[in-house]
Structure 1
Amino acid sequence: MGEHKWKELRIGDKIANLPIIQGGMGVGISLSRLAGAVAKEGGVGVISTAQIGYDEEGFEKDQAGCNRRAIRKHIQCAKEIACGNGLVGVNIMVALKHYKEHVKEAVAAGADVIISGAGLPMSLPGLIGENCKTKIAPIVSSKRATQLILKMWSHKYDRTADFIVIEGPKAGGHLGFSREQLAQTTDASFDEEIQSIIDCKKEYEEKYEKEIPVIVAGGIFDGKDISHALELGADGVQIASRFVATEECDASEAYKQAYIHADEKDVQIIQSPVGMPGRALRNRFIEHLEKAKMPISKCYNCLEKCNPAKVPYCITKALIDAVKGDVDNGLVFCGANVGRIHEMTTVHALMQELLSGIQAT
């Protein structure tokens, strides 16, 4: 491919040939098929553990058991698909009721990396234990959050992050910004925040005599965006939405088509039962929520701080309905650039396009 401006992504002793992490998307959007295909291309494929066992037999009665079983199954399957290439990891939300169990299950299953957000993963180092081969990364959106996490990990566990994922305001799904912050944050101001985070992690690189790669996420669409992130000092990028419109994505065909046919005007910020704003496609489901709550007839035990009597809808049911194909009456999370996705592709073709775009800039 000639001269290029990208380099392999080194996370401790683990190496991905390409500096591209596929973002974890749940429920059921990024499972073993997608993550394995990304890893096979030399990137980092990420499985979302959020209600990962939704299609396992017995899920209606035993969500926790089915989720643990599915974590093992999908990590193993993704590694088989990868054929020894790239890395296979998981995204585990701090907000999950069974966060601890998901972390331990992922480690036992041999996940290469754990990426953790939707809250501050203060306890993550203690959950994986010492001498663990699984690398860990917090998802942060500000210098302040980065400092809090790195200081706590250093003080309580005498260790630091193996890498850091900085997620910007254009990301899909749950966002680490208030609505006010979303309105006020510009591309230029967030570039400054990225560089501030890169600067603040240097103290811990020196203390622990190791490199802490920084990954930029949220709104990364093409090679130009990747080049910009690398120029800011990042070591790689995380991309999610673009991988939905691939043949290998684990979502239903209807879900993928919803992305392909979406316009910029269809994207809306909503409030999630997780307690954070989220970015999703406007549909009949969201229109209904603007008028009334969705009655909750069953609790799926997904969120630590969810009170079914008070939240406006069940996020598990809404996400499962969507991933199975009912994109009108389910919740379809998406990134800010979903309106730029116009056709189905493959993971191989997408990765090649992204890499050639880096070279062309």
Structure 2
Amino acid sequence: MSMPPPPMRTRVTELLGIDYPIIQGGMMWYGRAELASAVSNAGGLGILTALTQPTPEALAAEIARCRDMTDRPFGVNLTILPSITPPPYAELVEAVIEGGVTVMETAGRSPRDLLPRIKAAGILVLHKCTSVRHALSAERDGIDIVSIDGFECAGHPGEDDIGGLVLIPAAARALGIPVIASGGIGDGRGMAAALALGAEGVNMGTRFCATREAPVHDAVKQAMVEATERDTRLVFRTYRNTGRVLRNPIAEQVIEAERAGAPFEDVRPLVSGARGRATLETGAVDDALVWGGQVVGLIDDVPDCATLVHRIVTECRQRLASATALAA
């Protein structure tokens, strides 16, 4: 194995205690110990996903399992969603605290009500936002780092449709806390661009899905390799909960139903979490929504996480040096 590149230094690496300012997105079903530990061992920050686990006790066990696989920092994602019967968020936070985790990534609704307990435990909080106004609100609430999600991203890019080329510098200009760029980043070129735009690190979700350690079927990873930048679709637009997924028959069915004015209850059987999880396990990529960002157009291999992270850091430095030479 080749020597890893020298560490990079930004406020993000200093706050998180990592070698490179590369954070693995907290993705449902993907965010398990195998992937999180591999990213952390590579010098980035791996993220477990709390809601992937069925109970707070299961999350505690997964944290312990991850700790057995890495002695580097890793985080836990907690996505706060509107729900009639919400998950036991407070108990999940306690599992994170008792597990000695030092970083939490929050997403969805504001973690405002949970922050006093989290911060009292000395945990650093990174919050994902899709707009500058929400990022400013997070900063006022005491969030330590904001991850700003551009329109290119997988998952839920919000409803403003602002791409990273505008959103990243807008956030960096407005905020005093560090900004992590998210959405559309999958190689060293994207990381170099993000740093040039004012970010101090990058968050990658889709790119880490197509790694050897990602705990999903190889057919899912191969679908991302084969996809082009035109092979994602936006679903749930009419429900004001836009999501970006890979183009497949289920995504097209959902979009057609939306065009016909169907209520969400009509498409719910097509988009259930259980159905999506089954696809990730079986590799039947046409049987459910498969979440993915436009960066699939830049994915052409399935490396291990160490190879990917080190390659990105090396290429980032090369691109920044080339750009500097052009400006000299």
* TM-score after normalising by structure 1: 0.77
Identity of aligned residues (%): 26
Correspondence for 2:300: 342
CA RMSD of aligned residues (A): 2.7
**Match among 128, 141, 148 for residue 118 of structure 2:** 128
1:359 aligns with 2:317: yes
Q: C-alpha separation between the residues in 2 aligned to 1:129 and 1:225?
A: 32
Measured at CA, do residues 223 and 129 of structure 1 come closer, stay the same or move farther in structure 2, by a change above 3 Å? closer
Deviations, residues 92-132 of structure 1 (Å, cap 9, x unaligned):
111062133322322222222111112222223134262x1
Deviations, residues 296-328 of structure 1 (Å, cap 9, x unaligned):
xxxxxxxxxxx9957634531232122212321
Measured at CA, do residues 288 and 14 of structure 1 come closer, stay the same or move farther in structure 2, by a change above 3 Å? closer
Measured at CA, do residues 238 and 288 of structure 1 come closer, stay the same or move farther in structure 2, by a change above 3 Å? same
Check whether the contact 2:169–2:199 (CA below 8 A) recurs between aligned residues.
Answer: no
Correspondence for 2:178: 213
Measured at CA, do residues 343 and 162 of structure 1 come closer, stay the same or move farther in structure 2, by a change above 3 Å? same
Shift, 1:359, TM fit: 1.5
SS at match of 1:16: coil
Correspondence for 2:254: 289
Q: C-alpha separation between the residues in 2 aligned to 1:127 and 1:308?
A: 35
**Residue type matched to 1:174 in 2?**
H
Q: C-alpha separation between the residues in 2 aligned to 1:8 and 1:269?
A: 34
Correspondence for 2:92: 102
Shift, 1:351, TM fit: 0.9
Q: C-alpha separation between the residues in 1 aligned to 2:5 and 2:212?
A: 29
Shift, 1:3, TM fit: 9.2
Any unmatched runs of 5+ in structure 1?
54-65, 154-159, 203-211, 294-306
SS at match of 1:264: coil
**Match among 179, 185, 191 for residue 226 of structure 1:** 191
Check whether the contact 1:5–1:358 (CA below 8 A) recurs between aligned residues.
Answer: no
Q: C-alpha separation between the residues in 1 aligned to 2:239 and 2:74?
A: 26
Correspondence for 1:144: 133
1:174 aligns with 2:156: yes
Shift, 1:22, TM fit: 0.8
Q: C-alpha separation between the residues in 1 aligned to 2:266 and 2:94?
A: 31
**Residue type matched to 1:220 in 2?**
I
Between 1:188-197 and 1:340-349, the stretch displaced more is 188-197
Measured at CA, do residues 308 and 336 of structure 1 come closer, stay the same or move farther in structure 2, by a change above 3 Å? closer
Check whether the contact 1:24–1:30 (CA below 8 A) recurs between aligned residues.
Answer: yes
Shift, 1:273, TM fit: 11
SS at match of 2:230: helix
Q: C-alpha separation between the residues in 1 aligned to 2:119 and 2:266?
A: 36
Check whether the contact 1:248–1:346 (CA below 8 A) recurs between aligned residues.
Answer: yes
Alignment of 1:1-361 (within 5 A): 6-7=8-9, 10=12, 14-26=16-28, 28-50=29-51, 52-53=52-53, 66-82=54-70, 84-85=71-72, 87-95=73-81, 97-98=86-87, 99-128=89-118, 130=120, 132-151=121-140, 153=141, 160-175=142-157, 177-178=158-159, 181-182=160-161, 185-198=162-175, 202=176, 212-271=177-236, 276-292=241-257, 309=265, 312-313=268-269, 314-325=271-282, 326-361=284-319
Q: C-alpha separation between the residues in 1 aligned to 2:97 and 2:251?
A: 37
SS at match of 1:139: strand
Q: C-alpha separation between the residues in 1 aligned to 2:115 and 2:278?
A: 34
SS at match of 1:321: helix
SS at match of 1:174: coil
Q: Which protein has the bigger helix share? A: 2
Q: C-alpha separation between the residues in 2 aligned to 1:229 and 1:129?
A: 28
SS at match of 2:294: coil
Matched pairs, number: 307
* TM-score after normalising by structure 2: 0.84
Q: C-alpha separation between the residues in 2 aligned to 1:188 and 1:11?
A: 23
Q: C-alpha separation between the residues in 1 aligned to 2:6 and 2:14?
A: 23
Q: C-alpha separation between the residues in 2 aligned to 1:91 and 1:274?
A: 25
SS at match of 2:55: helix
Any unmatched runs of 5+ in structure 2?
320-328
Check whether the contact 1:273–1:311 (CA below 8 A) recurs between aligned residues.
Answer: no
Point out 4+ residue stretches in structure 1 off by more than 4 angstroms: 1-5, 8-14, 272-275, 307-311
Check whether the contact 1:107–1:128 (CA below 8 A) recurs between aligned residues.
Answer: yes
